[in-house]
């Protein structure tokens, strides 16, 4: 952290993890430190990545996509209430818990902003970047709603809407191309006009006209696409999820890549010059672990 100047960014991630106290967010349970290390202790979400479920299914039905989309909106909405942009929403950063409900993870690229403030940094995963991020003209919370639109399209169709292996062409399509939905009959994909409206509204090139820009999560959840769903039942997790992780005859890591098996929780030995660097910067970590989960 000292060597790569990551002290302040780690403090920010700590604050965000403690603030992520919501059913659809993975937060932090405990934090403790020694003279040389920080230990972040978080819940083990043993259903694995939604990406792995998606790979096995290749694409989800519209009903399943709607179920997952609502939880993403709820989780992101909670972050936004606390002034936090996630900025790296993708299937790999969404976990499925043992009950079949979703939890967002990975706040390494998250940023806290306030009011009409715009962030100017370039970050995230290329296929999910909003046009204003690509152009470097400044972005706000609506970059997460753009990513939601990409996710909904991807979960239903099987590929992101502006996919291209060439990075420059991908960025050009994100900035200029319209969203195209495949022919329902030809590709045997069922989807409603309301879903098309939802995705098109989230993928507005102009962030100020994007769905969610004026009312956040509440505005999005009022869209007609969600009209047929009991949002409260999903929020309170009283309904039956479409996918339930099964641990019968499986160990707890069955839904994770664990090629090397379990490793002992031991500290590696630090070279003398690194120990000296830590001692010289001890003040940077004073009281780092004083935070208590609420």
Each residue's pLDDT tens digit, 33-70: 988 999 999 999 989 999 999 999 999 999 999 999 99
Query: Residue range 63-80: average pLDDT?
Result: 98
**Which of 126, 130, 172 is closest to 147 using CA atoms?**
130
Q: Is 190 a catalytic residue?
A: no
E strands, 75-148, where?
Answer: 84-85, 94-96, 102-104, 111-112
**Which of 111, 74, 121 is closest to 94 using CA atoms?**
74
Residue with tokens 């070279």: 271
pLDDT range class, residue 289, cuts 50, 70, 90? confident
Q: Is the pLDDT of residue 239 over 50?
A: yes
DSSP lists the bridge partners of residue 103 as 95
Question: pTM for this structure?
Answer: 0.92
Domains and CATH numbers, the chain: 50-235 (1.10.510.10)
* Spatial distance between the Cα atoms of 31 and 262, rounded to a whole number of angstroms: 22
- Which tens digit of pLDDT belongs to each residue from 149-207? 999 999 999 999 999 999 999 999 999 999 999 999 999 999 999 999 999 999 999 99
Q: Is residue 117 helix, strand or coil?
A: coil
- Answer whether 171's CB lies under 8 Å from 177's CB: no
Q: Is the pLDDT of residue 294 over 50?
A: no
Candidate list 5, 15, 88, 193, residue with the active-site label: 88
- CB count in 10 Å sphere of residue 45: 20
């Amino acid at each position: 952290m000292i060597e790569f100047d990551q002290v302040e960014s780690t403090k920010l991630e700590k604050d965000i993890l403690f603030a992520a106290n919501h059913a659809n967010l993975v937060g932090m349970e405990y934090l403790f430190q020694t003279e040389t290390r920080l230990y972040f202790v978080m819940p083990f979400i043993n259903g694995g990545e939604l990406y792995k479920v998606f790979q096995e299914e290749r694409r989800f039905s519209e009903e399943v996509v709607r179920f997952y989309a609502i939880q993403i909106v709820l989780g992101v909405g909670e972050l936004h209430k606390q002034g936090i942009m996630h900025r790296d929403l993708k299937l790999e950063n969404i976990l499925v818990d043992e009950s079949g409900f979703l939890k967002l993870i990975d706040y390494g690229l998250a940023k806290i902003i306030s009011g009409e403030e715009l962030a100017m940094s370039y970050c995230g995963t290329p296929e999910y970047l909003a046009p204003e991020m690509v152009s470097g003209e400044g972005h706000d919370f609506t970059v997460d709603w753009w990513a939601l639109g990409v996710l909904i399209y991807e979960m239903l169709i099987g590929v992101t809407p502006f996919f291209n292996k060439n990075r420059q062409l991908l960025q050009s399509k994100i900035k200029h191309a319209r969203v195209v939905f495949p022919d329902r009959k030809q590709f045997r994909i069922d989807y409603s006009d309301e879903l098309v409206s939802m995705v098109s509204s989230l993928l507005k090139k102009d962030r100020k006209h994007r769905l969610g820009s004026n009312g956040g999560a509440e505005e999005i959840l009022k869209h007609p696409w969600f009209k047929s769903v009991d949002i409260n039942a999903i929020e309170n997790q009283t309904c039956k999820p479409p996918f339930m992780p099964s641990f019968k005859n499986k160990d707890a890591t069955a839904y994770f890549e664990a090629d090397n098996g379990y490793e002992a929780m031991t500290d590696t030995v630090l070279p003398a010059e690194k120990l000296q660097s830590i001692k010289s910067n001890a003040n940077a970590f004073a009281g780092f672990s004083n935070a208590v989960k609420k």
